[in-house]
Amino acid sequence: MRWIGFLSLVALSECLVTIPLTKIKSLRESLREKDLLRDYLQRHPYSHAYKFLSGEGVTVQPMRNYLDMYYVGTISIGTPPQEFQVIFDTGSADLWVPSIYCSSPICVTHKAFNPLGSSTYQSTDRPIELLYGSVSMTGLLGYDDVRVGDLVCKSQAFGLSKTEFSLSLVDVAFDGILGLAYPAVALNDTTPVFDSMWNQGLISENLFAFYLSSNEKNGSVVMFGGVDPSYYRGELQWVPVSTQGYWQVTLDSISMDGKVVGCADSCQAIMDTGTSLVTGPTNPILNILRNISAQTTSTGEYVISCEAIHSLPDIIFTINGVAYPVPASAYILREQTGICYPNLDTDTSDSSSLWVLGDVFLRLYFTVFDRANNRIGLAPAIA
């Protein structure tokens, strides 16, 4: 979640939650309605792809889009369940929520987990510290049952905050973060939520997927254990994960109007649902800003003429030989004040050579995070 510096995660703890499950029509149901199911099964009698893409047995967690800045869903922790609003973040691997022990002013404006109110809570005396760049949290590690949709992870590790620091967290509409990256970037000796889902036999396929809606529209979901093809067009294009920590892939190049503007000799990028923007190394980002004639303000921000949006070229990210265009309508943000800002930022963290394809990119492309095969699937998202 780049807008508050979530990418620079050093450590994070994990908490899982409960939410009402939304059933989505499966491919089987759609084919049956059109009287095409029998023919399909005869042609694909043992098709693993059919099971994989049917939408059957998939747990779908609804999420709400807040100002195109982050996506929030409801989870619950403990017995009886205590509900929290969390960001499902592929850029981190742990879960944490505020606790009744938190003394920071930020915690006053958010729900707080009460371990004394849960009969299944298991305490530890292990302190944790989570650093995200502009955000930090200290607290304790605990264990309890975490529910996401109809999935209940037993004795799930999560963080209970005691202090939280970030001015940007005071008025936001989420309580904590649920990380979905690889265990390698999780708190030592803990099992992330998604790994618990798989290890405890709660899901039939070792994968999850995101559909992110635009402009505060309803319909955003994260789905666990399978993929529903009604959320995308065409075929999924698969990209191997290059490093099993964050969801990292190799970019071939980044171009505009047929000219390479970044990543000329390939580079690395992270698919990060917790980052609102597209971020990259300073020089390539400045090169893109020059290409779109962005101007700096007295505060150091970049602005651009809103009238130019319809004439600006796409930014094309080529990944594993496939071009993924991002139009100006996606990489330019029009504020209610009538001022337009590029949805691009420079990466000031230590990983300065890394690109982050956040929600600006992921709203355009339905994304499957396939842990079984260590790959990411991309296809144009339905409008």
User: Catalytic positions, please?
Assistant: 89, 272
Query: What are phi and psi for residue 76, nearest 5 degrees?
Result: -140, 155
Burial 22-35 (b: 16+ CB within 10 A, else e): eeeebbebebeeee
Q: Residue 91: what residue type?
A: G
Pick from 254, 229, 205: nearest CA to 355: 254
CB 307 within 8 A of CB 347: no
CB 108 within 8 A of CB 25: no
Question: For residues 304 and 341, is the Cβ–Cβ distance under 8 A?
Answer: yes
Peptide bond preceding 80: is omega within 30 degrees of 0, i.e. cis? yes
- Residue 13's nearest CA partner among 94, 75, 88 is 94
DSSP labels, 184-217: GGSPTT---HHHHHHHTT--SSSEEEEE--STT-
3-state secondary structure of 247: strand
User: Given phi > 0 = left and psi -120 to 50 = alpha, else beta, which region is 216?
Assistant: left
Q: How far apart are CA 25 and CA 43, in angstroms?
A: 22
